[in-house]
């Protein structure tokens, strides 16, 4: 980046880290106006602004910025993941799955867990349960200590009526996150559903619907779901 563009970019990162989001947007916009020296540097500015828009829930702006970033740096898995999460948030699950697939293709294997998890969540919304199970299983193989992956796969088994398998996954998730009220509730519901299989009572049970934040978790919180900054804010914002 030019010196002035780079300065605005760094200021934008600081504003983001201090949750001064409108000022961060201004700084990243100024960095873009000052014409960064390389396409990759310009792409980082667009993606950084997209990250802030994601946190603010302005998902169409995220898609626009990430698309611009990808036009400048098409082989960046993080930008595909960023845009995929924006599509997911808008309910455009086919497009989300396509971006997550591209992220998997472009990223090192160590990063695949969160991308597989996110694509699995898109497949689940599309009711492609087998594909969702396959992706959550792949995510678990990469990061077997992530309770969200077990919880998401358990929810998918629940959708399929495979309550014993759901119980096994919820139990594994609870072992990793023993104080999670969400997992305790889903585990109790799976036990209740299994006990009531074949009865009319099961049909009257009330479970969180697919599509709620409670019921399915993307791999990281929104504030750093596509964060390319250092340090990441994930732990600070928890």
CA 129 to chain centre: 18
- pLDDT at residue 202 in the model: 43
- pLDDT at residue 157 in the model: 97
- pLDDT at residue 197 in the model: 76
Domains annotated on the chain, with CATH: 1-111+223-238 (1.25.40.10)
pLDDT tens digits, residue range 61-91? 999 999 999 999 999 999 999 999 999 999 9
**SS3 annotation, 9-47:** HHHHHHHHHCCCHHHHHHHHHHHHHCCCCCHHHHHHHHH
Residues of the chain with pLDDT under 70: 1-2, 198-238
What's the predicted TM-score (pTM) here?
A: 0.82
């Amino acid at each position: 980046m030019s010196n002035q563009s780079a300065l605005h970019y760094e200021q934008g990162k600081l504003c983001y880290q201090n949750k001064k989001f409108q000022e961060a947007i201004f700084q990243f916009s100024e960095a873009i106006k000052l014409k960064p020296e390389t396409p990759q540097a310009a792409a980082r500015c667009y993606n950084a602004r997209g990250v802030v828009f994601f946190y603010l829930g302005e998902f169409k702006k995220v898609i626009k910025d990430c698309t611009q970033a990808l036009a400048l740096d098409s082989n960046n898995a993080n930008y595909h993941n960023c845009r995929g999460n924006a599509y997911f948030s808008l309910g455009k699950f086919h497009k989300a799955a396509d971006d997550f697939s591209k992220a998997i293709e472009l990223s090192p294997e160590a990063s695949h867990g969160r991308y597989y998890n996110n694509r699995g969540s898109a497949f689940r919304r599309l009711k492609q349960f087998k594909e969702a199970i396959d992706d959550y299983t792949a995510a678990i193989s990469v990061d077997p200590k992530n309770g969200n992956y077990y919880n998401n796969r358990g929810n998918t088994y629940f959708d399929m009526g495979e309550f014993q398998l759901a119980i096994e996954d919820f139990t594994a998730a609870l072992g990793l996150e023993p104080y999670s009220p969400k997992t305790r509730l889903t585990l109790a519901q799976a036990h209740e559903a299994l006990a009531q299989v074949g009865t009319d009572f099961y049909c009257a049970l009330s479970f969180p619907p697919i599509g709620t934040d409670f019921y399915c978790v993307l791999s990281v919180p929104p504030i750093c779901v596509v964060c390319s900054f250092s340090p990441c804010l994930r732990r600070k914002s928890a």
